[in-house]
């Protein structure tokens, strides 16, 4: 889920390509908007700001219907007979979310003859076949920056949970046990440890800032260097060679988008070269790593702890090996869907819909595909 900075030439390319085959902005008349979100069920009424759900549908139903548009919301997104499939033929806008991803395949795009706009309520649009969307002339956009604070805070929490060996202690308490040695034998201070982030976009930079007070040795790898002032403030050192950086790290945090180039980048071979006992946090995308290689390395102790909220696929099946591997602190995909983040990405989605209806441009940083051109982080 980490967003990256685009160079001036890339931004201009994103704005100027002539390869559109469908209308970028809304044409006149009523539009059909379909949103795919997770269900809140019994939790729906516990918080009026719980908007990123089927029950509240980003809080935009009344606004959309007052303008004559049709708004369909569902959580049913899998298989040929699902609710989403029933609406593909005549929808104009599809709103999806990384937390309950509706996989927008090339096949689905072909079926959606009226589709003009794909919006991601949140950050990270890799559940969409972006090449197929670009070839079809669709606009793909997300609410850039909407949950970067939420994810960076969550990453810091997971680092501390792993470093301090928190979960065995928690399990002892709920199981009626008391064994200090069972926790303390692999609990450490964060101070003085080497932490490397693979990716230093919006989330990675926020994480570096939040780690600064812990007096760690901070490293980062990215396509380009961060601002020199931020480097000085955090003391973070740029590592151009990823394979040179990774073995130096006591803790590795993945903060890059999922592309064909980054898919499976942390594989068995790379894992074998990491420090024994390395701790890994991954709130970016599950498919960035080799699932079985991570499970095997956790079982052998080569990975001392693995924590994250992203899986592949999502939702994770009951037999997913990460559910049962030792020294894991996994959760469902929750880091970027705090109530605060939901309010931000709901507002951002509404703003882009409003601009779409009026034929106005979106904020430049929100575009993932525009007029046949992919944003730099997905190339």
pLDDT of the residue at 27: 66
320 is a catalytic site residue: no
19 is a catalytic site residue: no
pLDDT band, residue 376 (cuts 50/70/90): confident
pLDDT of the residue at 292: 98
List the catalytic residue out of 333, 342, 366, 377: 333
List the catalytic residue out of 116, 282, 314, 377: 314
pLDDT band, residue 379 (cuts 50/70/90): confident
pLDDT of the residue at 28: 67
pLDDT band, residue 12 (cuts 50/70/90): very low
Q: In what order do the strands lie in the sheet with 303-308?
A: 237-238, 217-221, 194-198, 251-254, 278-282, 303-308, 328-330
List the catalytic residue out of 4, 87, 92, 147: 147
Residue 189 has pLDDT above 80, yes or no: yes
- The mean pLDDT of 64-83, rounded to a whole number, is 97
Residues 203-216 pLDDT 10s: 999 999 999 999 99
pLDDT of the residue at 11: 39
285 is a catalytic site residue: yes
Please report, for residues 24, 263, 318, 374, the alpha-carbon distance to residue 13 in angstroms, rounded to integers and kept in the order given: 16, 25, 43, 9
The share of the chain scoring above pLDDT 90, in percent, equals 90
217 is a catalytic site residue: no
List the catalytic residue out of 127, 285, 320, 344: 285
- Nearest Cα to Cα of residue 141 among 129, 124, 153: 124
pLDDT of the residue at 29: 87
pLDDT band, residue 3 (cuts 50/70/90): very low
Measured distance CA(355)–CA(325) in Å, rounded: 47
The H-assigned helical ranges of the chain are 8-16, 61-66, 83-87, 106-111, 130-135, 148-163, 166-174, 181-184, 202-211, 228-234, 242-245, 268-272, 291-300, 339-358
């Amino acid at each position: 889920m980490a967003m990256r900075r685009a160079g001036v030439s890339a931004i201009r390319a994103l704005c100027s390509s002539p390869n559109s085959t469908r209308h970028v902005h809304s044409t006149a008349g009523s539009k059909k908007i379909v949103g795919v979100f997770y269900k809140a069920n019994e939790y729906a009424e516990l918080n009026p700001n719980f908007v990123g759900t089927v029950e509240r549908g980003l809080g935009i139903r009344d606004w959309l219907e007052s303008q004559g548009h049709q708004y369909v919301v569902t959580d049913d997104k899998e298989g040929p007979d699902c609710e989403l499939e029933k609406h593909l033929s005549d929808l104009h806008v599809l709103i999806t979310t990384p937390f309950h991803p509706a996989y927008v395949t090339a096949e689905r795009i072909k079926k959606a003859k009226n589709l003009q706009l794909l919006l991601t309520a949140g950050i990270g649009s890799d559940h969409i076949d972006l090449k197929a969307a670009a070839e079809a002339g669709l606009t793909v956009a997300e609410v850039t920056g909407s949950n970067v604070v939420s994810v960076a805070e969550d990453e810091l929490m997971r680092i501390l949970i792993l470093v301090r060996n928190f979960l065995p202690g928690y399990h002892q308490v709920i199981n009626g046990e008391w064994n200090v040695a069972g926790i303390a034998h692999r609990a450490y201070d964060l101070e003085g440890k080497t932490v490397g982030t693979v990716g230093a976009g919006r989330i990675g930079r926020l994480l570096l800032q939040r780690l600064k007070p812990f007096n760690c040795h901070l490293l980062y790898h990215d396509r380009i260097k961060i601002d020199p002032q931020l480097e000085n403030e955090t003391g973070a050192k740029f590592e151009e060679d990823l394979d040179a950086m990774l073995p130096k790290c006591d803790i590795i945090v993945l903060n890059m988008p999922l592309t064909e180039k980054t898919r499976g980048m942390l594989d068995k071979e790379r894992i074998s070269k990491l420090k024994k006992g390395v701790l890994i946090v991954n709130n970016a995308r599950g498919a960035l790593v080799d699932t079985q290689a991570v499970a095997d390395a956790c079982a052998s102790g080569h990975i001392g702890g693995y924590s994250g909220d992203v899986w592949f696929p999502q939702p994770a099946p009951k037999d997913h090996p990460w559910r049962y591997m030792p020294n894991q602190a996994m959760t469902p995909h929750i880091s970027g869907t705090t109530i605060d983040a939901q309010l931000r990405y709901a507002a951002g989605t509404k703003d882009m819909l409003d601009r779409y209806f009026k034929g106005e441009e979106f904020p430049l940083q929100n575009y993932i595909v525009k007029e046949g051109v992919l944003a730099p982080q997905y190339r």
